[in-house]
Chain A
Amino acid sequence: MPHIFVYLRHRSGVVDDSAAELYDAAKTIDASASPTAVLTGYGEDLDAACSSVRSLYTEIWKVGDQVLAYPNAELVRQALAAVLPRNSILLLPHDHFGIDLGPGLSIKLNSSFVSDVLAIDGVEGNFLKLARQEFGGQVSVQVRCDISTGAVINIRPGAFKAEPTASISGVIVDKSSQVGILSARRRYIQTIVAEAGDVDITKHSVLVSIGRGIQEKDNIALAEELADALGAVVSCSRPVVDAKWMGKSRQVGSSGKTVKPRVYLACGVSGAFQHLAGLKGNPFIIAVNKNPKAPIFQVADVGIVDDILEFLPELTNQVRESRSVAAK
């Protein structure tokens, strides 16, 4: 069984949920495994990040270099190719960084590559059995991956448990000297932060979220009325932003904002994983959608098959009535 490594990205010394998720994924591949965490970066931030995962990982490889201060996938790839042993399994989160890093790294390591894995169904000889989705999440497919020369596997964020299950005291190993001189033909310049909109959806505990099912820009008013009645705000999925009906600041998803509301009303949202990836903290999800087969119903707590253009006004009326009753 190849050794399992896990690459963890960090920001200002903080590692996100992927630390625990990838740990869980590694244990699913091999329950007896002690996965090694690998982090790149520089200086205090890197040290802090490494320390923060000592409670989960027995061994943490620290790869520090000034050029790695910002995680440029081209440079990280070189660094990892230098330090990682061949024929090992490396787990990455399937996010924008994993998409940037994973495929090319698999070539440099001469191993297989599978992306966006949802579930791991075990090892069979030299093969790892995995599950993915295709066709916009409408079907799932089981995949066999040859791990005889190792593999790079991108794991879908949120597919595995995020509660840390181990509690140990790992050892940090400095692998920085193994890296040599890093240079890449891609240079990081800067990050342009999305314009702050009038509303910060990450600060609200109830979100009325709309998707393509809203059909027209003018119909957004129906969602806004409901949000208004509830004391909530309107958020949306990517298609609504692509159509320029709402600003990017309202988008929930892997390329939008991450939100942790208590209640999430998904109206006309299909439930594409990129959207759901922005939903954390286990909110109570109520989904309304015309299509009974919409993937959202697989993750929602309560579902209603209905036309949101009809349902939203009805719900708004009820909320208003109940409030006026309460006020009396």
Chain B
Amino acid sequence: MVSSSLTPPTHDWLIISRSLLLSIHLLGISCFAYIVARRLAPLVRAERDLRFDRPLIRAGRVFKFWLGQWRHPRYKFAGTLHILIFAGFILLVARAFSTLIIGVNANFVMPGLSGLVGRFYNLATDYAATAVFLCMVIAAVRRLVYKPERYAVPAKYGKSHTADAVFLLALIAVLMVADSLFAASTAASHRLQGQPVETLAFLSLPWILQGSLRPSLGTVADVRFAAYLVHELAFYFLLCYRPFGIQFHVETSLFSIYFAKLERGTVKPVRWAVSDERLDQVKSLGVKKFEDFTWKHMLDFYSCADCGRCSDNCPANAAGRPLAPRFLTIKARDYAFQHYPVFGKANNSKPLIGNVYSENEIWSCTTCAACEEECPLLVEYIDKIVDLRRGMVDDGNVPQSLQRPLKALESRGNPYGKMEKKRADWTKSPEFQQTCDVKILDGKRDADTLYFVDSITSYDERMQSIGRSTARILSRIGENFGILGAGEKDSGHDVRRFGEEMLFLALRDHNSDAVKASEVKRIVTADPHAYNALKHDYKNVPPVEHMSQVIAREVKAGKIQFHPIEDENKVFAYHDPCYLGRHNQVYDEPRSVLDAIPGLKRVEMKRSRDRSFCCGGGGLMLFYEPQEEQRMGVLRVRMAAEAGANVIVTACPFCMANIEDAIKVAGMEGKMSVIDLTELADQQIVQQSLRETQRLREPATCGG
């Protein structure tokens, strides 16, 4: 910061009090080190987490998400504020250190920041400090006056966090003022002594403060020392206070982002470095107490900035379920602070379920990943929830409503308890068989492509129509495909995400063997849950595509044409299924299919693509009885209506089930309908003969 050597005036307190300032430095640094060491204590005892691979990719993500603040603009105002504050802080780092060191070495100049570069840097940081200061004021006003909803703390979660937040904002503001005042008074001091004066940036905070200083050397020296002391104390106070609250993210964010999960769509193994075969030997599965979390998950708890963006986008939260992701993290963090205190011994480990979390809180999650998509710190949620579920399953603590489908999955390979031999019955209705022959790959027949149907499409009478539409489209494009029939069991996608890992492994192994035996080269499915499982949870199976991708490709290649939509009044809105959209980022292909249908009027709902709003959940979630104020599906259907649509198009049978139900519950029958992408494509596809087109116009009657 300040360049030239100063001949100490009679009362340059700064130099006289060097030992005081030095001791503050030492005290501050050692306190901080101690506090951080105490905070790291539980992490050292935590479960292992293998996050040290692919350093280049991880570094790249640090660049994008940390330095680049990539997630922040999703909330424009707060995001802009934060970007400014963050940029300001980064810029100010060198200046802050220089200032601190000057206390013990009056002539210190940061290496590389001398001469012209230094002058430029000082001007820039003058503005940076000003900007940060202004942002603090705006942020405080925003918190106190405008009170954005996502910061609110419902009574059951404790006291409001506003006081603490504003306190910290105030402290940082003080820091900026102290720094600026120090710069201003240093310049004033030089001027009064006839020494070269640093230029203060025009209209910056230091520049403004300079005008308020009385031109007496003694006063200026006093002000300078006071500013310095305040700066140093504020700096170290903040440094040591941050690890006690949400501001710890200032230090931990770099690490939480570096070590963040790289894979999408899959769930962590029960124990890293314990293979599936050896899981039987593990004494306890899942997370039952705090120490069962991995160190990265504990780091996540420390890293939460309490911004509330996750809960703001959580559909369970919106529906009034007892789940708010933000508080999953805050409660765990508070637990860590309480049971692993900085002052005192680690104490009283308690089971998490029943003490920190309620069972319903953990079962309420649909694993839609809206929270993970928002979090600027890349905090992970789904893995934690799955681990907590694994713990409950291990203890036998499973809601009765889920025990029946789990048992049915175990004995019959589908959650409905229907007989295995009937899994392919949907292909057997006479009307359908005339239009389409679906091969069963039972060893006697083979094919290039496997159509993995999965349970709901196989057994649910309404969803079987999706199966038939899919089969017809595959036939039409000349795909040599077949299904596994009775040899197929449930993909197990949601069995895994509901914590029944062993049952999932059994289903996965069975299906993997069946797929391998069929010798197909690729897999297609119309079920995003099956798609996600085959793509991410299953190993060593052929590549898998979703039907929307298949159709989109054929459309692009000109091999599929569509008849125009006849009803002018229909307005379509595409609903992104969570496991096709957010988890696998397939947003454009389904839309391109819709846009290829002539005369199809399409609108986008406010929440679409990666901000899509979960329909209510699929797989086992259809059996769970949640405590909620209203259904997620009902909220979604209203969003469609708000966007001006009267037809919802979706690409997932579970979305179909939830939305169809929601239309009834919301009393919107006649005003809103829903159709699957494959059904719509099947309906509109240009057939060979007009007669076929007319016969296949209504999907409900097709195939019986």
A/B contact in complex, CB under 8 angstroms: yes
Nearest CB in chain A: distance from B591 CB, A: 31
How many B residues touch A, CB cutoff 8 Å? Answer: 7
Whether a CB of chain B sits under 8 angstroms from the CB of A163 is: no
Whether a CB of chain A sits under 8 angstroms from the CB of B163 is: no
Nearest CB in chain A: distance from B119 CB, A: 69
Whether a CB of chain A sits under 8 angstroms from the CB of B664 is: yes
Whether a CB of chain A sits under 8 angstroms from the CB of B602 is: no
Query: Is there an interface contact between A217 and B625, defined as CB atoms closer than 8 Å?
Result: yes
Query: Is there an interface contact between B669 and A218, defined as CB atoms closer than 8 Å?
Result: no
A309, B662: Cα distance in complex, Å: 12
Residue from the list B400, B401, B665 in contact with A218, Cβ < 8 A: B665
Whether a CB of chain B sits under 8 angstroms from the CB of A100 is: no
CB neighbours of B401 from chain A (8 A): 243
Residue from the list A216, A221, A313 in contact with B625, Cβ < 8 A: A216
Q: Which residues of B in the span 270-325 have a Cβ within 8 Å of any Cβ on A?
A: none
A311, B51: Cα distance in complex, Å: 55
Query: Is there an interface contact between B665 and A313, defined as CB atoms closer than 8 Å?
Result: no
CB neighbours of A309 from chain B (8 A): 664
Query: Is there an interface contact between A313 and B631, defined as CB atoms closer than 8 Å?
Result: no
Nearest CB in chain B: distance from A327 CB, A: 21
- Residue-wise interface mask of A (189-225) relative to B, using a CB-CB cutoff of 8 A (1 in contact, 0 not): 0000000000000000000000000001110011000
Query: Is there an interface contact between A221 and B669, defined as CB atoms closer than 8 Å?
Result: no
A243, B401: Cα distance in complex, Å: 8
A217, B661: Cα distance in complex, Å: 13
A217, B400: Cα distance in complex, Å: 14
A309, B664: Cα distance in complex, Å: 9
CB neighbours of A218 from chain B (8 A): 631, 665
- Residue-wise interface mask of B (383-403) relative to A, using a CB-CB cutoff of 8 A (1 in contact, 0 not): 000000000000000001100
Residue of B nearest to A317 (CB): B669
CB neighbours of B669 from chain A (8 A): 313
Residue of A nearest to B461 (CB): A307
Nearest CB in chain A: distance from B370 CB, A: 23
A60, B19: Cα distance in complex, Å: 112
Residue of B nearest to A242 (CB): B400
A328, B401: Cα distance in complex, Å: 47
A313, B666: Cα distance in complex, Å: 13
Residue of A nearest to B462 (CB): A307
A222, B631: Cα distance in complex, Å: 15
- Residue-wise interface mask of B (330-344) relative to A, using a CB-CB cutoff of 8 A (1 in contact, 0 not): 000000000000000
Residue of B nearest to A218 (CB): B665
Nearest CB in chain B: distance from A270 CB, A: 15
- Residue-wise interface mask of B (578-608) relative to A, using a CB-CB cutoff of 8 A (1 in contact, 0 not): 0000000000000000000000000000000
A217, B664: Cα distance in complex, Å: 14
CB neighbours of A243 from chain B (8 A): 400-401, 625
Residue of B nearest to A307 (CB): B461
CB neighbours of B664 from chain A (8 A): 222, 309, 313
Nearest CB in chain B: distance from A216 CB, A: 7
Q: Which residues of B in the span 655-681 have a Cβ within 8 Å of any Cβ on A?
A: 664-665, 669
A265, B346: Cα distance in complex, Å: 62
A216, B625: Cα distance in complex, Å: 8
Nearest CB in chain B: distance from A190 CB, A: 30
> Which of B401, B631, B665, B669 has most A Cβ within 10 Å?
B665
A243, B623: Cα distance in complex, Å: 12
A221, B661: Cα distance in complex, Å: 12
A313, B669: Cα distance in complex, Å: 10
- Residue-wise interface mask of A (278-318) relative to B, using a CB-CB cutoff of 8 A (1 in contact, 0 not): 00000000000000000000000000000001000100000
Q: Which residues of B in the span 614-656 have a Cβ within 8 Å of any Cβ on A?
A: 625, 631
Nearest CB in chain B: distance from A186 CB, A: 31
CB neighbours of B400 from chain A (8 A): 243
A243, B402: Cα distance in complex, Å: 12
CB neighbours of B631 from chain A (8 A): 218
A221, B666: Cα distance in complex, Å: 11
Residue of A nearest to B401 (CB): A243
A290, B515: Cα distance in complex, Å: 34
CB neighbours of A313 from chain B (8 A): 664, 669
> Which of A217, A218, A243, A309 has most B Cβ within 10 Å?
A218
Nearest CB in chain A: distance from B463 CB, A: 14
A35, B401: Cα distance in complex, Å: 49
12 cross-chain CB contacts under 8 A: A216-B625, A217-B625, A218-B631, A218-B665, A221-B665, A222-B664, A243-B400, A243-B401, A243-B625, A309-B664, A313-B664, A313-B669
Q: A216-B625, A221-B665 are in contact. List 10 more A-B contacts (CB 8 A).
A: A217-B625, A218-B631, A218-B665, A222-B664, A243-B400, A243-B401, A243-B625, A309-B664, A313-B664, A313-B669
Interface, chain A (partner B; CB < 8 A): 216-218, 221-222, 243, 309, 313
The 8 A-B residue pairs with the shortest CB-CB distance in the complex, in nearest-first order = A218-B665, A217-B625, A313-B664, A218-B631, A221-B665, A216-B625, A313-B669, A243-B401
